[in-house]
């Protein structure tokens, strides 16, 4: 069955899409090459016509999901009321829907830790996805004399990833939502964009309990 070059490209894309979904859902180690190929409607033997190894597939998968966070969050920002872009993006990332569907969500929140322990290429790919998530917030961040927007963006992205990790550890959806809500307020406060921005808080001084 000889196929056109376009057919091969389409098949490769289908494999990458299924890999991206399965890896985020079950983790890098618990998804086999046969699982991915089966999900793409193929048998496992054909895998090596497209990729040199499973490790290479993982690396290519991370490249394939490039642009996902921008594609998801930019419209949210642009459709938000004036001045509400940042809260809207944070609410979108830290939403119950995102928490419930890792398979379609942020790859850093799903696989960041595992990827850090894989090959250098995979770790670098994940680092780039993390920076890319941060860059998505860049245009919407406040300009401040004491902080660069780049550093605010990195810290914000990291906080969001950690919050999603925490929320997904809670099995009770209500408990998970409390975590998400707490983090939504927390990060907006850090950015000086808290919706209910109130009078100056009391300094942190509590003695050990």
Closest CB to a copy of itself among residues 42, 154: 154
Choose which of 18, 20, 50, 141 interacts with DNA (CB under 7 A): 50
Choose which of 21, 33, 70, 166 interacts with DNA (CB under 7 A): 33
Q: How far apart are CA 49 and CA 129, in angstroms?
A: 27
**For residue 40, which of 5, 63, 12, 59 has the smallest C-alpha distance?**
12
Closest CB to DNA among residues 6, 171: 6
Place of tokens 């180690």: 29
Q: How far apart are CA 120 and CA 192, in angstroms?
A: 37
**For residue 133, which of 157, 99, 115, 152 has the smallest C-alpha distance?**
157
Place of tokens 């959806």: 173
How many angstroms separate the most distant Cα atoms in the chain? 74
Q: Answer with the entry of DNA, a copy of itself, none that 73 interacts with (C-beta below 5 to 8 A by kind).
A: none
Choose which of 46, 67, 139, 173 interacts with a copy of itself (CB under 8 A): 139
Q: Answer with the entry of DNA, a copy of itself, none that 47 interacts with (C-beta below 5 to 8 A by kind).
A: DNA
The reply to whether 54 sits near a copy of itself by the rule CB under 8 A is no
CB 163 within 8 A of CB 94: yes
Q: Answer with the entry of a copy of itself, DNA, none that 72 interacts with (C-beta below 5 to 8 A by kind).
A: none
The reply to whether 4 sits near DNA by the rule CB under 7 A is yes
Residues 149-157: contacts with CB within 8 Å, 24+ apart?
Answer: 152/191, 155/190, 156/90, 156/187, 156/190, 156/191, 157/108, 157/130, 157/133
Q: Which span sits near a copy of itself by CB under 8 A: 7-15, 39-47, 60-68, 174-182? A: 174-182
Task: Please enumerate in sequence order all residues whose Cβ is within 8 A of that of 9, keeping only pairs 6 or more positions apart, or say none.
Answer: none
> Under rule CB under 8 A, which residues in 144-163 are in contact with a copy of itself?
144-147, 151-152, 154-163
Q: Answer with the entry of DNA, a copy of itself, none that 8 interacts with (C-beta below 5 to 8 A by kind).
A: DNA
Choose which of 3, 113, 169, 195 interacts with DNA (CB under 7 A): 3
Backbone angles phi, psi at 62, to 5 degrees: -65, -35
The reply to whether 1 sits near DNA by the rule CB under 7 A is yes
The reply to whether 120 sits near a copy of itself by the rule CB under 8 A is yes
């Amino acid at each position: 069955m000889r196929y056109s070059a376009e057919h091969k490209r389409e098949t490769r894309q289908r494999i990458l899409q299924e890999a991206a979904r399965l890896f985020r859902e079950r983790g890098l180690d618990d998804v086999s090459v046969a699982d991915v190929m089966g999900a793409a409607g193929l048998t496992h033997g054909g895998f090596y016509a497209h990729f040199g190894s499973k490790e290479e597939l993982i690396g290519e998968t991370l490249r394939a999901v490039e642009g996902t966070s921008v594609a998801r969050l930019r419209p949210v920002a642009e459709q938000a009321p004036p001045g509400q872009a940042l809260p809207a993006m944070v609410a979108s990332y830290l939403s119950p829907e995102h928490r419930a569907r890792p398979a379609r969500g942020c790859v850093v929140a799903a696989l960041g830790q595992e990827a850090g322990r894989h090959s250098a290429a995979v770790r670098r790919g994940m680092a780039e996805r993390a920076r890319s998530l941060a860059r998505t917030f860049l245009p919407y961040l406040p300009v401040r004399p004491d902080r660069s927007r780049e550093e605010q963006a990195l810290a914000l992205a990291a906080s969001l990833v950690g919050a999603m990790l925490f929320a997904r550890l809670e099995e009770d959806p209500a408990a998970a939502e409390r975590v998400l809500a707490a983090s939504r307020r927390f990060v907006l406060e850090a950015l000086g964009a808290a919706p209910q921005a109130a009078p100056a808080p009391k300094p942190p001084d509590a003695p050990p309990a």
